């Protein structure tokens, strides 16, 4: 084992021991790590149910903000488009068309670099229009 790697391993082990001792002192007792009892007590089932519920809520939030973004796009409310698309993408559901409309909004607002970035992401996520918009934007930027 290389000397530098060995030092790092020893340092990490020392930090783990110190953290464990600090936890022990803080709670006046040993640190209790998860055991199979946690899984047998039904806590794991509750965790899985909560995770599934969170995922369905995320999907609902995505659909709500995506609909709002498309409405704002049709109403030419560019700042609202940027905001709603950001909220929709925060749910971790990605859609190339959302990146495209936010890119278009950025372009309308004069934020060409941000538009270019979103058009590229739109192409990556399968937008039908982002590739053409990206090519047109590149030409527009060359002329300036």
Between 93 and 1, residue with greater pLDDT: 93
Computed over every residue of the chain, the mean pLDDT equals: 81
113: tokens are: 């670099």
Short-list 144, 112, 143, CA closest to 133 = 112
Phi, psi of 129 (to 5 degrees): -105, -15
Q: What is the pTM of this model?
A: 0.65
Q: What is the pLDDT of residue 82?
A: 96
Q: What is the pLDDT of residue 107?
A: 95
Arithmetic mean of pLDDT, 49-54: 77
5: tokens are: 């790697």
Q: How confident is the model at residue 144 (pLDDT cuts 50, 70, 90)?
A: confident
- For residue range 65-89, list pLDDT tens digits in order: 999 999 999 999 999 999 999 999 9
Between 15 and 105, residue with greater pLDDT: 105
Q: What is the pLDDT of residue 27?
A: 47
Q: What is the pLDDT of residue 143?
A: 87
Arithmetic mean of pLDDT, 128-134: 93
Using a pLDDT cut of 70, give the percent of the chain over it: 69
């Amino acid at each position: 084992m290389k000397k530098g790697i060995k030092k790092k391993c020893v340092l990490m082990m020392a930090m783990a021991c110190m953290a464990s001792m600090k936890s022990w002192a803080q709670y006046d007792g040993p640190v209790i790590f998860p055991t199979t009892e946690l899984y047998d007590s039904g806590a794991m089932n509750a965790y899985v149910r909560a995770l599934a519920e969170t995922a369905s809520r995320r999907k609902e939030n995505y659909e709500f903000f995506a609909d709002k973004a498309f409405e704002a796009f049709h109403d030419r409310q560019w700042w609202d488009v940027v905001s709603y698309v950001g909220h929709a993408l925060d749910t971790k559901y990605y859609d190339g068309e959302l990146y495209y409309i936010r890119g278009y909004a950025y372009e309308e607002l004069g934020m060409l670099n941000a538009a270019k970035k979103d058009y590229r992401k739109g192409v990556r996520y399968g937008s039908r229009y982002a590739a053409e918009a990206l090519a047109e934007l590149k030409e527009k930027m060359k002329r300036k």
